Amino acid sequence: MKIIGIDPGSYVTGYALIEQEDNGIMLIEGGVVKVPKNIGKFDKLRYLYTKIEDIIKSKKPEYASIEDSFYYKNVKTSMYLGQIKGVLILALLNNNCKIYEFSPLEIKKAVVGYGQATKEQVEYMVRRLLNIEIEAKYSDFYDAIAAAICLSNMISINYNNISSNRKGFARVLRGK
């Protein structure tokens, strides 16, 4: 099963595609989408939508894990991040992905075992879990992988708990 993890950002959005198989998790592709600074606000949203949709269409993930937004004191920043997240969710929905949202605390707990883990600790665990030897320039890449791992863990736990009841499995995954 393919899962895309997304770490939304106003200038840099991280993404990672993992594949979960019986023998573990494998990184298929990952990186960042950097939005050009010299274009208008709405053109930035379209740019991000197009880039993420191209990735989704080419790799065809079944599930998506998106990091829930932080809440900033600056209302304009929070609203803009909400618009970014909306564009990302629309791209996922338009390509039939089942979407799950996790707080940064939930993601860190799933990957590191501690919800208050630092970015460095998340990066270390992600690199160790998936045997990633290269160093990425942006932590958004590792955060996106961590989001995908979080969902993979949730699916594995739910599947193992109710593997004899496939209808129950589907109900859990749909969030009902």
> 21, 67, 68, 120: which is the annotated catalytic residue?
67
- Between CA 50 and CA 21 the distance in angstroms is 29
Does residue 143 have an active-site annotation? Answer: no
> 7, 29, 62, 133: which is the annotated catalytic residue?
7
Q: What pLDDT sits at residue 159?
A: 53
Q: What pLDDT sits at residue 122?
A: 96
Place 142 in a pLDDT band, splitting at 50, 70 and 90: very high
As for how many domains the chain has, the answer is 1
Q: What angle do CA 70, 73, 75 make, to 5 degrees?
A: 90
Does residue 140 have an active-site annotation? Answer: yes
**Tens-place pLDDT, residues 17-43:** 999 888 789 999 999 999 999 999 999
> 19, 62, 133, 140: which is the annotated catalytic residue?
140
Domain with 93 in it: what CATH number? 3.30.420.10
Decide if pLDDT at 161 tops 60. no
Does residue 101 have an active-site annotation? Answer: no
Decide if pLDDT at 74 tops 90. no
Residue span of the structural domain in which 137 resides = 2-173
